[in-house]
Amino acid sequence: MNYQLYCFGESGHSYKAALGLNMSGVDWTPIKVDFFNGETRSAAYRTEVNEMGEAPVLVHGDLKLTQSGVILEYLSQQTGKFGGNNDTERREVLRWILWDNHKLSSLAGMARFLMNFAPEDKRPTDVIAFLQGRLSASYSVLDAHLANRDWIAADHVTNADLTCCGYLYYPEAFGFNRTEWPNIDAWLTRLSEQDGWKHPYDLMPGNPSERA
């Protein structure tokens, strides 16, 4: 049964789910969400797609799921991939998904939006600086964790890797320079060499160049 993913190329949270689908090797279809023209704020979207007004949304038959971490866990249940091979690994995967959502992706997504997609006269420099400071602390945690290991939660790729990379391949500036974090840089390179990996702008519809 085909999976459908409501997503858009600029969304790092959507990228996590899209990457999980693609690397799992399942048949899936992206459905573009017109975020920048207000689709997620519309009554129709919130009534018919996601009451939270967010992407991604996964549709699989009669099932509809929101939140990237939930989607990745469901895909693992369906495919047997990336969820962890035992209880210890599964708990470690969950630990890093929760950390990423609180300490990394949420901050990176906000900083990237404010620096690149918000109107220039409405970019709060103090807020951006604060977010970048918090992000630097998060990069330090992740870089140190990856010092003597290839993958975040196990000796193989898991959803921990798919969630923590969500914003780190994007070209737009938001306070992340791969060369400053050698262990993160090496990890991102390893992940990009895995079967099914694609850059977010190659994997999902939607690209800033379309609005230039």
As a dihedral over the C-alpha atoms of residue 20, residue 22, residue 27, residue 31, rounded to 10 degrees, the angle is 80
pLDDT at 212 over 80: no
Predicted pLDDT at 44: 98
Predicted pLDDT at 152: 98
Predicted pLDDT at 1: 76
Q: What is the pLDDT of residues 136-162, one digit of tens each?
A: 999 999 999 999 999 999 999 999 999
Sequence length of the chain is 212
Q: How far apart are CA 195 and CA 210, in angstroms?
A: 28
> What CATH topology corresponds to 3-82+198-211?
Glutaredoxin (3.40.30)
> DSSP labels for 26-79?
--EEEEE--GGGTGGGSHHHHHHT-TT--S-EEEETTEEEESHHHHHHHHHHHH
Tokens of 155: 């000796």
Range(s) within the chain of domains with CATH label 1.20.1050.10 = 87-192
Range(s) within the chain of domains with CATH label 3.40.30.10 = 3-82+198-211
CATH architecture of the domain covering 87-192: Up-down Bundle (1.20)
Predicted pLDDT at 98: 98
3-state helix, strand, coil in the chain (%, to 5): 55, 10, 35
Predicted pLDDT at 113: 97
Whether the model pTM is above 0.95: yes
Q: What is the pLDDT of residues 84-116, one digit of tens each?
A: 999 999 999 999 999 999 999 999 999 999 999
What mean pLDDT value characterizes the chain?
Answer: 97
Structure confidence at residue 211 as a pLDDT band (50, 70, 90): confident
Q: How far apart are CA 16 and CA 56, in angstroms?
A: 9
Q: How far apart are CA 210 and CA 35, in angstroms?
A: 13
Q: How far apart are CA 26 and CA 184, in angstroms?
A: 28
